[in-house]
Amino acid sequence: MLTVAIRKQLGSFALDIAFAGPGDGVTALFGPSGAGKSATLAAIGGTGRPDAGHISLNGEVLVDIAGGVNVPAERRRIGWVYQDARLFPHMPVRANLLYGFRRARGRRRIAVDDVVAVLAIGHLLDRRVAALSGGERQRVALGRALLSQPDLLLLDEPLAALDEARKAEILGFIARLKAEFRLPMVYVTHSMAEVRAIADHMVRLDQGRVVADHAIAGGGIDPATVGADRVEALVVGSDEQRGTTEVEVDGRRFAVPLLASAPGDRIRIAVVKPGASD
C-alpha cells in the first residue's frame, strides 16, 4: 500500500494532501492542470522534497520530514513512465529494456521475455529509437520501467502525446500489465475517460487539495480485448454521468465505456467474439 500525507509550498501554490492507494491495481491522480498532480508524483518518486509529512510504500518509510528521512530517488525502487517516453536515443530497443534490468541485480522477479511478450515488442528489439512510432516508444518505455523491478510504477500522463488510436492501444497494454504483473501503479491524468478505462481507485486533486478519494467500481479495460479484431466506429456522443459513449457501427448504435473522443470522431474499437475471454 502507498500512503501519502504531505505539504509543499511552491510559490503562491500550496499542496496539502493525504491519501492511501491500494497495494494492487491503478490509482489515478486526476485533476485539471495546476491541481498538484505533478508535484505529488515528484514527492512520491523522490525528485521533489515535501516541506512536511510522510510517504510510505508497503510499510517502508520513504519520506518522514520530521524524522529526517528522505530516501533518494535511485533507492526507492520506483519505475517512471513519462509522456515523452525518454528512451536512450543512442541505444536500440533491446539495450533500452536491459538498462534497468542489469541495474536491478538481486531482485529480478519480472523476466525480460515475459515483458516482451505482454507488450508485443519482440519485433522491435533491434530497432533504433528514432524508427519507432509514438505508441511503440511508450510500449518500450513501459517495458524498461517494469524491468527495473520496481515496487511501484508511476505513469505521468503517458498518453498525452499520442493520437486517439494510439491512446486506446496503450491503455490496453497497461491493462495487460496490470493483470499480468499485479504491480501497483499511480497514473496521472486530466482525462476522466482514461480514469474510467484503467483505474481501480481515484484521487481527485484541485488547487492542491484532495477533493475526492474513492474506488472505481467495475473500472478497467478487459485485457481480453487487447489484440482483438477492431472495427471503425463513429462517435455519436457521451454521457459523463453514466460513464458511457454512444458509437455507431454499420448503422447500429450502442454504448461503450466513456471515451475522450468528440462527436463526429471516427475511432477503432475492439470486437470480442462470444467466448473469447473464457
* CATH number assigned to the domain comprising residue 218: 3.40.50.300
Asked if residue 210 and residue 240 are part of one domain, the reply reads no
Q: What is the pTM of this model?
A: 0.76
Cα 141 from Cα 169, distance rounded (Å): 14
pLDDT in tens, 12-39: 999 999 999 888 889 999 999 999 999 9
pLDDT range class, residue 218, cuts 50, 70, 90: low
Query: Does residue 276 belong to any structural domain of this protein?
Result: no
pLDDT range class, residue 260, cuts 50, 70, 90: low
Query: Does residue 35 belong to any structural domain of this protein?
Result: yes
Total tally of structural domains belonging to the chain: 2
Task: Specify the higher pLDDT residue, 109 or 106.
Answer: 109
Asked if residue 113 and residue 71 are part of one domain, the reply reads yes
Within a 10 A sphere around the Cβ of 82, how many other Cβ atoms?
16
3-state class (DSSP) for residue 188? strand
Cα 175 from Cα 118, distance rounded (Å): 10
Range of the structural domain that residue 184 is part of? 2-224
Q: Which three cell numbers stand for residue 74?
A: 535511485
Cα 43 from Cα 152, distance rounded (Å): 13
What is the pLDDT at residue 274?
43
Buried b (16+ CB within 10 A) or exposed e, 101-131: beeeeeeeebebeebbebbebeebbeeebee
Asked if residue 166 and residue 60 are part of one domain, the reply reads yes
pLDDT range class, residue 164, cuts 50, 70, 90: confident
Asked if residue 238 and residue 115 are part of one domain, the reply reads no
Least trusted range by pLDDT, from 44-48, 159-163, 226-230: 226-230
Query: What proportion of the chain, given as a percentage, has pLDDT over 90?
Result: 50
Mean pLDDT of 190-203: 87
What separation in angstroms does the CA of 265 have from each of 32, 41, 164, 245? 23, 32, 10, 12
Asked if residue 112 and residue 41 are part of one domain, the reply reads yes
What is the pLDDT at residue 194?
87
3-state class (DSSP) for residue 45? helix
Task: Specify the higher pLDDT residue, 170 or 41.
Answer: 41
Cα 45 from Cα 268, distance rounded (Å): 35
Asked if residue 131 and residue 6 are part of one domain, the reply reads yes
